[in-house]
A and B are shown apart, each in its own frame.
Chain A
Amino acid sequence: MFYLAYLKAELLRRWGKTAIITFGLAIASAIIITIISTSQGLSASQEQVLNPLENVGTDIMVTRSVETEKMGDLDETTRTELMSENRISTDLSKLGKAGESFSLDTFLAGTMLTFASEETKKLTSDLAKEYATGLILNVTHQEGKIPEITAEFQTGPETFQVPDVAPLTDAERAAVDAARQKAMADLQAKGIDPNSDEGRKAVRDAETAAMPERFKNRQFTAPSRTFRQTLDAPETDIKTESYTIAGVDTTKKAIGLILPSQITEGSYFSGNNQVIINLSYAQKKGLKVGSSITLNTTLDSEKVTKKLTIVGIVDPKLYTNTADIYVPLSDLQTIADKAGRINIILIKAPDASSVEETSSKVAGLFAGVNVTDSNDTASQVTGSLVSAASLMNRFIGLVSIIVILASFIIISLITVFSVNKRTQEIGTLKAIGWKNPSIIRQIFLENLVIGIFGAILGVGLGLAAIVLLNQYDITFTANVASSNTGQDFMPFMRRFAESGNDTPTAANLKLDIPFDYLILLLGAAVAILGSVVAGALAAFKASRMKPQEALRQL
């Protein structure tokens, strides 16, 4: 096979040209592989945010959360419940004597109203393959000194002078008597006893009607007075802080608000008085595994203090319903005085394909609940993230096209330029009898082989770039609108909770670029296609060269 020997000689002996073109194609291929893989990695991360339910083994989520826009549609009972779950009234006088220190935690459901855990009995196995319950509450933590409560007011008794009214004149008295006589006569005519209740009333009405005007309206106005006393505001240093706490159904390991697999440090619950902290909350507060959190509350007028040990740090993936700290459900129900109450059910549908159907069936089971599936949670993610994603996808498409076009143009120029330099060589081959098909095959194959080398090198470089990018811990933050306990809901009712974390849930996602064979193939195809385009142009150029070129003196 002479043409193979020629091919080999051409590629090896003009190694500089071979190397430049191979490298050019490889770079283009590697760039394509890297940017598309990175985009896929980003998409995968976004998918995690967009479909948070899937992260916790869930298809359907049941809550009684109230949306601000729908408040007007609530019935009276629910409205009252909502009010009480959002109002903090602290009777400082019951916490101790003035000047004493106090610390109080109030647990409220916010807009995620509770329901009896008994309700889950409705979830038969044809509706739920598995389910987990949870209770997510807002904690308002107050601490400081009980202030001196002063200012006492006392008013009354007061005496009012009723102004005199002129007595009846004789004529007026006669008119009243006449009216009475007439009424009595009317009653007798109707056969009604004037001493019966009805009779008396008729007589009295007649008398009243006959009375002069000045007796009918006996109103009087008390003179207006103003009390004025300057009060000092109660001196206090009460600090208020709020965070969210979630009660976790610890009997389920594959479904739930947090899963054992999401623990990044320490361990999952293994006993009582344990707490697991959200990674971002731990960072914000400087909390570590082993340190403790104390909850103080009042149950049946008794002060209760509960000290919890941090056993683990969790990176929760249910972005729409995260909490700052997690405790076992029963512990939270006890301390928050919400025995037997839950406000979220996570359901795994029996069949992945029938999620929507199951979701509507579940909605029919419970009155006044919100049933959410993955389609709905995606729409809860803030618009900016979604638009950023689409913008990035468009950007990546544009960059890919530019890289491909630029590399194709450059490679084609180099290839055509180098074949132009071989004009005499190709002319000579034609002069000694080579025909165009052989010339085209030769030039085309040279480029195809370069393309294959470029593809192999490009895939190698692309893989190296992905490994390198994955090596750097590139994390990014996605903001997800939390449908939690209504952090920014009805602020007027939550006067004390001003320092609350009313920021949206921030999801920290590590960029994990996948190795996808299809993308590697695509990158390889870019290099090969580039060489095919350049080779075709060069081969066409060579086919147009004339055998006379052999005779031209350079």
Chain B
Amino acid sequence: MVLIEISNLTKLYKSGRSTIRAVDGLDLIVHKGDFLAIVGPSGSGKSTLLQLLGCLDKPTSGDIKIDDKDITRLNDRKLADLRQKKIGFIFQSFNLIPTLTARQNVEAAIAKRGRNDKTGTLEVLEKVGLAERANQLPSLLSGGEQQRVAIARALINKPEIILADEPTGNLDSQTGKMIFDLLHQLSKSENTTVIVVTHDLSIAGQTDKTYHLKDGKLS
């Protein structure tokens, strides 16, 4: 089942007098439950593609359809709703709120708040193996633990897509592998689409599919 359908996606940036074609007529189809990697060196348009995929920015031209619905014409408010319900983000530097505990960081992402938020967050933390550390502040957690909190936060709304931006970039290789395996496992157990954007070629081989990004185009 096609989850994301991207056609002729273009994003231009003006830099002084010249125009940069960060993403240039890109096409991509992602199926539900895919575990895929988009690999490219820096400057290849990776960040731009990630922003467009994550509904953080709007393309100059082209379409992005999620669940057969074009999202490029949506306003900021609708995009925010979409991100909250359908997309889970994982960042290279974890991006946890420093003043909130692990559990509160997860809770911060809950789309529809209710009575069972606490149990819900604990269950998700259990899934990433951090239930005992639920009340710790990020500063007291290791990098791997922080990224696991971030994964739990990404999972809390049961999104269809998880977008991971260099998820292992700030971790040592052993921890990195652990996080990668966790993502892989969650992709299978939850039937969630996981898109990992990275420059790390070693990751590329371990996903179901790998796309290479060069000059704003996939190959």
Question: Contact between A435 and B80 (Cβ–Cβ < 8 Å)?
Answer: yes
Closest to A550 in B: B95
Closest to A437 in B: B77
User: Which one of A431, A433, A435, A553 contacts B92 once the chains associate, using CB atoms below 8 Å?
Assistant: A553
Judge whether B6 is part of the interface by a CB distance below 8 angstroms: no
Residues of B in contact, count (CB < 8 Å): 35
User: Which one of A13, A433, A548, A550 contacts B84 once the chains associate, using CB atoms below 8 Å?
Assistant: A433
- Mask for B175-208, Cβ within 8 A of A = 1, else 0? 0000000000000000000000000000000000
- Mask for A515-554, Cβ within 8 A of B = 1, else 0? 0000000000000000000000000000000111011011
Judge whether A432 is part of the interface by a CB distance below 8 angstroms: yes
Q: In whole angstroms, how far apart are the Cα atoms of A32 and B19 in the complex?
A: 56
Question: Contact between B93 and A433 (Cβ–Cβ < 8 Å)?
Answer: no
Q: In whole angstroms, how far apart are the Cα atoms of A548 and B77 in the complex?
A: 15
Question: Contact between A2 and B113 (Cβ–Cβ < 8 Å)?
Answer: yes
How many whole Å from A50's CB to the nearest CB in chain B? 57
Judge whether B4 is part of the interface by a CB distance below 8 angstroms: no
Contacts of A19 on B, CB cut-off 8 Å? none
Question: Contact between B137 and A13 (Cβ–Cβ < 8 Å)?
Answer: yes
Contacts of A9 on B, CB cut-off 8 Å? 99-101, 104
Known: A6-B104, A431-B83, A432-B84. A548 touches B99 (CB 8 A): no
Question: Contact between A428 and B56 (Cβ–Cβ < 8 Å)?
Answer: no
Closest to B153 in A: A432
How many whole Å from B106's CB to the nearest CB in chain A? 10
Stretch of B22-30, B46-54, B123-131 contacting A (4+ beta carbons < 8 Å) = B46-54
Judge whether A215 is part of the interface by a CB distance below 8 angstroms: no
Judge whether A424 is part of the interface by a CB distance below 8 angstroms: yes
Question: Contact between B89 and A432 (Cβ–Cβ < 8 Å)?
Answer: yes
Give the interface SS of chain B, mostly helix, strand, loop or mixed: loop
How many whole Å from A16's CB to the nearest CB in chain B? 12
Known: A13-B137, A432-B109. A548 touches B117 (CB 8 A): no
- Mask for A423-434, Cβ within 8 A of B = 1, else 0? 011001111111
Contacts of A10 on B, CB cut-off 8 Å? 99
CB proximity to B under 8 Å, residues A405-453: 424-425, 428-435
Q: In whole angstroms, how far apart are the Cα atoms of A547 and B95 in the complex?
A: 12
Judge whether A14 is part of the interface by a CB distance below 8 angstroms: yes
Contacts of A553 on B, CB cut-off 8 Å? 92-93
Contacts of B97 on A, CB cut-off 8 Å? 6, 425, 428-429
Known: A431-B56, A432-B84. A554 touches B137 (CB 8 A): no
Judge whether B211 is part of the interface by a CB distance below 8 angstroms: no
Judge whether B34 is part of the interface by a CB distance below 8 angstroms: no
Known: A432-B89, A551-B50. A5 touches B83 (CB 8 A): no
Chain B CB within 10 Å, residue with most, of A10, A429, A550: A550
How many whole Å from A536's CB to the nearest CB in chain B? 21
Q: In whole angstroms, how far apart are the Cα atoms of A9 and B104 in the complex?
A: 10
Question: Contact between A550 and B104 (Cβ–Cβ < 8 Å)?
Answer: no
Question: Contact between A434 and B91 (Cβ–Cβ < 8 Å)?
Answer: no
Known: A425-B98, A433-B81, A551-B50. 5 other contacts (CB 8 A): A13-B137, A432-B88, A434-B108, A435-B77, A553-B93
26 contacts between A and B (CB under 8 A): A2-B107, A2-B113, A2-B117, A5-B107, A6-B100, A9-B104, A13-B99, A425-B95, A428-B89, A428-B91, A428-B97, A429-B97, A431-B56, A431-B83, A432-B88, A433-B109, A435-B77, A435-B81, A547-B80, A550-B56, A550-B95, A551-B47, A551-B50, A551-B51, A551-B56, A553-B92
B-side interface residues toward A, CB under 8 Å?
Answer: 47, 50-51, 54, 56-57, 77, 80-81, 83-85, 88-89, 91-93, 95, 97-101, 104, 107-111, 113, 117, 137, 153, 157, 165
